[in-house]
Amino acid sequence: MNATEFRQATDMDTAWLNFEPDLPLAPDPETGKPHPFYVFRPDNPADRLRRILLRPYHNPPKLFFSGHRGCGKSTELSRLAAAPEIRRKFFPIHFSIRDEADINNLDYRDVLLILGAQMYRQYRAAGGRLPKGLLKELDSWRGRVEERIQASLSGRIAESELDARLDGFFAKLGAKVKLEPRTRHELHQVFERDITGLLEVVNNISHAIYGREKRPPLVLIDDLDKPSLDVARRIFYDRREIMLQPTCPIVYTVSSPLFYGPEFEAIRDRAIFLPNIKLHAEQDHQARDERGYQTLQQAVLRRMAPELITPQALDLAAGMSGGVFRELMRILRNAIDRGLEAEHARVEEDDVAAAAAEIRGEYRRILNIEQRHTLARIRATNQLDDPDRVATLLQLLAVLEYANGEPWYDVHPALNKLLDEERPDEPAS
């Protein structure tokens, strides 16, 4: 569905469709105009990302963009890739690693290989032509790689055949890395012995695009925050120097728990964190942040007409989301479903309360007593006393981060009733 086809819903069924939780809000690719559902968030750190990229630089920047799951990173990367000022300076290469690789079994070599393949494929798809000399170099490299997986070709060939053969090779790489473990293993063996050769391929494609377009490729890799913390550490800490070597600007999304361990020191000067929308002041749940509530309520009313939800339900949905856009979408979609089942003409406060209770039930099943004690301490202090211990809670969105200059933390609002049931007199240490 084209962004211009998204409209504010005037009936409950269309409203349910508009609250798809995993829908990145891509701008218009021609004009860069925001998606109809997009809302401008207060003090958006993604604007800092844009400012850094637009400044002059000696070395192509490598930036690490993070935030909690569902906070809007994909939407902000899409917005960045479509911004006219970015497109004037760069040739954007934007893709999701999840579409190209098994994120549960990811390796730094996979990332570099897919990065090069995406530069090649997206540039070719945009009508770009690479120099014949580079095509021959790439074809020679392709032959060496395919020889290791019993698929080599040889002989003299025309430039058009070179294009076609390389197009097919790079097009198939994603499927091979994602779906063929034996082939993936062979590729890893090749690149483990010759990582310099892989980097050379990536950099040669980057240089060729710059030479033809007079603007460098800007690579924006989405969903690199989805792998486990151990995988993130192996890629961005153990192999940090290699990930910094491509000669084009890159924005890597990274797992938010990486920001809470000693590994963060390795990327601190290149890191940008997208916090959740703040709904109340630190240490004071009664000090309501009206800007935060208005931002979330606007996100709802972009998708559904005001007459489809009561003011009380709208306010409760914003508060129960914890300032996480995807949680807001999930709550509204479940509330709309419950409203339809009850034959309500609009979403009522009870529908939202039931949707929040469903989230609380999910947490009730998975949180152990030690985690509940940890959550009780975080709710009381708004601070993390042991970042390693809360890594899982951050990934689960049981703990949420906010910013007031200095970061502070709270528990998912749906958990408050669950923690009140516990009322531990002396939380476990």
Q: What is the reported pTM?
A: 0.83
Task: Say if CB 236 and CB 108 are below 8 A apart.
Answer: no
- The string of pLDDT tens digits covering residues 260-294 is 777 777 777 888 988 899 998 887 878 899 999 99
Distance set, CA 376 to CA 304, 305, 323 (Å): 36, 38, 19
Structural domains of the chain, ranges and CATH numbers in brackets: 60-274 (3.40.50), 280-422 (no CATH)
- The string of pLDDT tens digits covering residues 153-199 is 333 444 555 566 666 666 666 555 554 566 666 666 666 666 888 89
Task: Say if CB 238 and CB 267 are below 8 A apart.
Answer: no
End-to-end CA gap in the chain: 51
Mean pLDDT calculated for residue range 68-75: 86
Distance set, CA 286 to CA 79, 290, 319, 414 (Å): 34, 12, 12, 16
Q: At what angle do helices 159-179 and 181-193 cross, to 10 degrees?
A: 110
312: Cβ contacts below 8 Å, ≥ 6 apart: 349
